[in-house]
Amino acid sequence: MKNIFRDFFTFNKRERNGVFILTGIICALILYLNISSRFINQEKVDFTKFDKDVQVFQASIKEKASSSECPEKVTPKLENAFPDKTKVERFNFDPNNLSVGEWKRLGLNEKQIKSIKNYESKGGKFRKKEDVKKMYCIKEELYDSLEPFIHFASAGDENRSSENTKAVFQNGKVKNAASLKTIKAEMVILIELNSADSSQLTTIKGIGPFYAKNIIKYRNSIGGFVSKEQLLEIWKFDQEKLDVIEKYIGIDPSKIKRININTCEVADLKNGYIKWNVANAIVNYRKSHGKYKSVDEIKKTDLVDDETYRKIVPYLILD
The pLDDT of 35-41, averaged and rounded, is 68
Q: What is the pLDDT of residue 43?
A: 62
pLDDT tens digits, 5-21: 666 667 677 888 888 89
Q: What is the pLDDT of residue 68?
A: 47
pLDDT tens digits, 224-265: 999 999 999 998 899 988 988 888 888 888 889 999 999 999
Q: What is the pLDDT of residue 45?
A: 64
The pLDDT of 14-29, averaged and rounded, is 87
Q: Are strands 173-174 and 169-170 parallel, antiparallel or unpaired?
A: antiparallel
Domains, the chain: 188-256 (1.10.150.280), 259-317 (1.10.150.310)
The model's confidence at residue 83, banded by pLDDT at 50, 70 and 90, is: very low
The pLDDT of 100-121, averaged and rounded, is 86
pLDDT tens digits, 49-58: 777 777 777 7
The model's confidence at residue 74, banded by pLDDT at 50, 70 and 90, is: very low
Q: What is the pLDDT of residue 231?
A: 92
Q: What is the pLDDT of residue 184?
A: 47
Q: What is the pLDDT of residue 50?
A: 72
Contact 302, 285 (CB under 8 A): no
pLDDT tens digits, 169-219: 444 444 555 554 554 444 556 889 999 999 999 998 889 999 999 999 999
